[in-house]
Amino acid sequence: MALTWPLLVDDFFAGLPIKQISARLGRAQTSSETGGGEVISHAMGTRLWQGQIVLDKESHAYWAALEARLALLEQPGASLLLWDTRMHGTILDPDLSILGASSPVIDDLAANNRELDISGLPANYEISQGDLLGFTYGANPTRYAYHRVVTGDRANLSGVARNIEVIPYIRPGAQIGAAVTLGTPVLKAVISNADYGQSRATLSDGGSFEWVQTLR
C-alpha cells in the first residue's frame, strides 16, 4: 500500500539510529545599514524550524531499508513528522509523569500573537522557559504548530497557566480548545538535503540529512 504524507513518526523517524540532532528556528530576515550607521532588519518570509540529523553506524541491511524511505522523502511533495529527541518531556517534568493523564488545551489567545493561556493542567504545574509545546490547526492540510516557551508560568489551582509567551509567533488559524502537546510535540518537515554515507563490508556509516519545517 502506498505511503501517504506526512510519514507518521512510526513510519520512519522513530526507528532511526540517531547519533546527533539539531533543531533551531531560522531567522528569515535580511538587514541593511543607513548612512547614519543604523542597522535595519527586514522580515523575509516565515520563520521555520530547521536542523540536521546525523545517523550512527548500522548494518547495511538496515541501511538498505532506510535508504528506500529516505529516497522516497526526497520526492517533491513528500514530508514527514519528527520531534526533538533530546526532549522527552518538559524541563521540570522530564518524563511527563506529573502531567500524567491530564489533557491540556488552549484556553485563550492574546491579540499580540505571542502569548497563550493553557488550561487542563495539574494544579501548580509549571511550564518553563525553554519547554517545547505544539498543537494542530487548520485542515486540508492539517498544520503542525511548534513553539518554544520564552516566558513560562505556574498553573493556578484550577490548572490554568496564563500569558505563556512563545517563539515563533502564533500563526493565524490557532483555535481556543485545541489540544496542546507539552515537551514532545511533532512538526512537519521536508528533507532539504541527504547524504547516504559510506559502506564498509556489512556496515554503513556517515549518513545524515537536513530538514526544514513546512506548513503545508
With contact defined as beta carbons under 8 Å apart, do 161 and 153 qualify?
yes
pTM of the model: 0.90
Amino acid at 78: A
Average pLDDT, the chain: 91
Number of domains forming the structure of the chain: 2
Cα–Cα distance, 186 to 191 (Å, whole number): 15
Which backbone phi and psi does 182 adopt, to 5 degrees?
-100, 135
Tell me which H or E stretch contains 147.
Answer: strand 143-151
Q: Is 9 helix (H, G, I), strand (E, B) or coil?
A: helix
Q: Which three cell numbers stand for residue 162?
A: 496564563
With contact defined as beta carbons under 8 Å apart, do 21 and 86 qualify?
yes
Report yes or no on 4 lying in a domain: no
pLDDT, average across residues 19-31: 83
156 and 176, same structural domain?
A: yes
Give me the percent of the chain exceeding a pLDDT of 90: 72
Which range of 11-15, 25-29, 90-94, 200-204 scores highest in mean pLDDT? It is: 90-94
Q: Please determine, for residue 39, whether its predicted confidence score (pLDDT) is greater than 90.
A: no
57 and 20, same structural domain?
A: yes
pLDDT, average across residues 136-160: 96
194 and 130, same structural domain?
A: no
129 and 63, same structural domain?
A: no
Range of the domain at 50: 10-83+189-213
Q: Can you give the pLDDT at residue 36?
A: 67
Q: Please determine, for residue 38, whether its predicted confidence score (pLDDT) is greater than 90.
A: no
Amino acid at 5: W
When mean pLDDT is compared across 34-48, 74-88, 125-139, 146-160, the lowest value belongs to 34-48
Report yes or no on 96 lying in a domain: no
Distance of CA 6 to the CA centre of its chain: 14
170 and 196, same structural domain?
A: no
141 and 168, same structural domain?
A: yes
Q: Residue 4: is it exposed, middle or buried by C-beta count within 10 angstroms (0-12/13-18/19+)?
A: exposed
pLDDT, average across residues 123-150: 97
Distance of CA 67 to the CA centre of its chain: 23
List alpha helices for the chain, DSSP H: 60-73
pLDDT, average across residues 161-166: 98
Cα–Cα distance, 216 to 212 (Å, whole number): 12
Q: What CATH number is associated with residue 209?
A: 3.30.200
Confidence of residue 28 (pLDDT cuts 50, 70, 90): low
Confidence of residue 157 (pLDDT cuts 50, 70, 90): very high
Report yes or no on 73 lying in a domain: yes
- Which residue in this structure is represented by grid cell 509567533? 169
76 and 17, same structural domain?
A: yes
Q: Can you give the pLDDT at residue 41?
A: 67
> Around Cβ 180, how many Cβ atoms within 10 Å?
23
Radius of gyration of the chain (CA): 20
55 and 122, same structural domain?
A: no
Q: Residue 122: is it exposed, middle or buried by C-beta count within 10 angstroms (0-12/13-18/19+)?
A: middle
In this predicted model, what pLDDT tens digit does every residue of 177-203 receive, in sequence order?
A: 999 999 999 999 999 999 887 777 777
Q: Can you give the pLDDT at residue 31?
A: 63
193 and 129, same structural domain?
A: no
Report yes or no on 3 lying in a domain: no
Closest CA to 137 of 100, 179, 169: 179
